[in-house]
Amino acid sequence: MPAPVNPPPSPAIVEENEPAFNLGDLIATLLEYKWLVLIVTSLVSMAGALAVFTATPIYQANATLQIEGGQKGVSALAELQSMAAPALDSDFSINTQIHILKSRMLLGRVVDKLKLDILASPVYLPFVGAGLARRHAGADLAQPLFDLTKYAWLTKYAWGGEAIKVESLAVPGSQLGQSFTLVAGENDRYQLLGSDNTPVLQGRVGEQAHGKGVSLFVSQLTARPGTHFNVSRISQEDAIFSLQERLAVQQRRYSAVLDATLTGPDIATLSRVLEEILNAYVIQNVEYHSAEAENTLNFLETQLPVLKTQMDAATTAYNSYRLSRGSVDLNIETQSLLASLVDVEKDLVKLQEQRDEFTQRFTPGHPSFHSLDSQIERLKARKSQLDTQISELPAIQQTILRLQQDVEVNSTLYTKLLNAAQQLRVSTAGQVGDARIIDEALVSGQIAPKPTLMLGVSLVLGLVSSFVIIWLHCSLRVMVEDPEKIEGQLGLPVYATIPHSKAEASLSRTLKSGKANSGLLSTCMPDDDAVESLRGLRTTLHFALLDAAKSSVLITGSSQGIGKSFISTNLAALLAQSGKRVVIIDADLRKGHIHRGFSLQREGGVSEYISGTAGLQDIVKGTAIPGLVVVTTGQRPPNPSELLMHHRFEELLEKLEAEYDYVIIDAPPVLAVSDAAIVGRLTGATLMVARAGMHPLRELEQAVKRLNQAGVEVQGFVFNDMNTTRQRYRYGYKGYVYQYAYKKNA
């Protein structure tokens, strides 16, 4: 067993009571993944920009409508309704008008008049074609992006400026909603294809065309020959539903004013459609009130002859009775009873006629009937009371009173209805309804998409997405990236922390490509930060081996690709530069490649010495660095582990230790093969190399455990390829130790 090596104090500084949230660590993480943040944010932002470019713009048209409080010019009708139920709540009435504005009855008229159930639009290049066409502002057709003579399949697409207007399209009921393809031809001709691209008909602009049950009339067609248009006829119900979805009507607060808005992609026809909706509402409003007044007038004209007959009969009866009885005077009390009874009779007749008129307009459950019936019952009760009082009068006075009552009631009622009929005749001719358009329909502008908002949202979404990806990656990452974890979990010191070197990465690529035969970072770039850290390792190793029985140092790792050969060769070179006599042995008999860095041949090395085919002087090869010699692997043997267990390998180490100040041994990975455990029993110290972000802590723990089980004590670690940016922001000023070096040309 080698003598124990006293480990020096660890250069790492353990932070006590370190806060859970470290701003520097956050900044370091973001800088470490800056390219990921940039790429993800750029991709999402580009997707947002593409969505803005390709999205169909939605515009909004606005108009204002006023609902009058009552009918102007129909005073007779209002007078007849004055004894009906109290007026409904104004908000209820306004809500009724809103529902009428969005009713199928009203919108159906608009659909039929504007032919909104006929859809026709150009076919654009997928994704970007519609956006390109919208940006064409000229009156002529836009030039295609590609040469259509070379790309004939692009001929069918529209590029901007194309237009079509279909006046009529009649299709069988089974083909409602089916899309047809209209292909523009020469000299205003066109061809209509079915959904299966079979010809349906051929026609010319301005002429009616028929074919296979389809009738089509195209009044305008502006397009290059070969351009395709989608043409279809939908059901009226679907067209009405589309209008209902896009139409919004709201009441302004504390007023009888309605704000109507209509949204849609066609800015050219949007205001016209909304204006037609409001016009249709105003027209139906006038028609409704005109019909109401006309119905009332018809009712009055049927009642007037009856009332006149009753009035004449009552007058004749009254006069005849007076003549037969002579002069009869009524006292004041009797006259008062007569006046009261006449008033009650008049009111009863009015209410009864009003009820008869209501039966033509409302259902029996309407609130007006309930109020009207209540008033009739009250008047009947009053009449019964008056009749009782009259029955107590003398017979002659009762008869005179009854006859005079009939005359006054019938005369008054006939005169009133006659005047009402005259007013209705006049007002019906000048009926204007109770709704008027205050502000005509006007397109206010594009409401969606909003480019600034969408681009801002996509930018934020890109940032958030990149942060989430980073968070997930960091949460799932179990690789060791901080040397403190090694010291804290394994209890072993980290002798040196080697920062990432771009120069070493470039040098390695050059050697692998064969563009260079040799090269060490310590000789090519002596001022590199990684070399400076290796100088620190050299100093630490010097003091660590002062009390060791042997001057040999084994350098290994848990797995391959961690840079142990880089550490071995450059450490050996730096030791030699300090005036020491150093030999480096490539004990990785399977994949060793140290000879490449010194432009040496693999043959004539460890395997030849152990097999006895070469002596010590034959295998020790000089280098361009004074004081440094190399023992290569030799030819690759079939049994590397057995060769290393041979006594001649131990003999080789003893001879080299006696002749040189330092013997650096580069061994294979611990977990891959047992070679490192075999060699480690023969050396004075063992160092393990760990590369940042390459090992889970469990892997390093297993490697140390396997060496310990073989009787090899690991003195410490060399932490290689560390991200200095992360450490600089995490530990603040402490990061400067990795960057300290002499300035060139200073």
Residue pLDDT, tens place only, 243-297: 999 999 999 998 899 999 999 999 989 999 999 999 999 989 888 877 767 777 7
Give the residue among 543, 590, 560, 555 at the shortest CA–CA distance from 707.
555
558 phi, psi to nearest 5 deg: -80, -30
Q: Of 110-114, 381-385, 671-675, give the range with the top mean pLDDT.
A: 110-114
- Supply the pLDDT for residue 555: 96
Q: What number of other Cβ atoms are within 10 A of residue 225's Cβ?
A: 12
- Supply the pLDDT for residue 287: 81
What's the pLDDT tens digit per position in 489-533? 999 999 999 999 988 888 887 777 665 556 788 888 899 999 999
Residue 227 banded pLDDT, cuts 50, 70, 90: very high
pLDDT(24) > 80: no
- Using a pLDDT cut of 70, give the percent of the chain over it: 85
> Greatest CA span in the chain, whole angstroms?
174
Residue 615 banded pLDDT, cuts 50, 70, 90: very high
For CA atoms 295, 296, 299, 301, the dihedral sign is: negative
Give the residue among 610, 660, 654 at the shortest CA–CA distance from 632.
610
pLDDT(745) > 60: no
Min mean pLDDT across 268-277, 433-442, 565-574 is at 433-442
Q: How far apart are CA 103 and CA 266, in angstroms?
A: 23
Could you identify the residue written with the tokens 């502006």?
222
Helices 332-358 and 267-325: angle between axes, nearest 10 degrees: 150
Residue of higher predicted confidence among 82 and 251? 251
Give, in degrees to the nearest 5, the angle at Cα 531 between 528 and 537.
150
Instruction: Give the pair of three-digit tokens for residue 660.
Output: 């040189």
The helix (run of H) or strand (run of E) holding residue 118 is: strand 118-122
pLDDT(328) > 60: no
Label the pairing between strands 582-586 and 662-666: parallel
How large is the average pLDDT for residues 585-611?
91
pLDDT(689) > 60: yes
**217 has which bridge partners?**
168, 208
Three-state SS at 115:
coil
- Supply the pLDDT for residue 325: 67
Residue of higher predicted confidence among 5 and 261? 261
Q: Which domains does the chain have, with CATH numbers?
A: 118-143+150-233 (no CATH), 291-436 (no CATH), 483-738 (3.40.50.300)
Q: How far apart are CA 681 and CA 669, in angstroms?
A: 15
Residue of higher predicted confidence among 379 and 230? 230
Q: How far apart are CA 374 and CA 368, in angstroms?
A: 10
pLDDT(409) > 70: yes
Q: Of 67-81, 293-307, 322-336, 690-704, give the range with the top mean pLDDT.
A: 690-704
The helix (run of H) or strand (run of E) holding residue 266 is: none
What's the pLDDT tens digit per position in 443-494? 988 999 999 999 999 999 999 999 999 888 877 777 888 898 899 999 999 9
For CA atoms 145, 147, 152, 155, the dihedral sign is: positive
- Supply the pLDDT for residue 13: 39
pLDDT(40) > 50: yes
Helices 267-325 and 395-429: angle between axes, nearest 10 degrees: 160
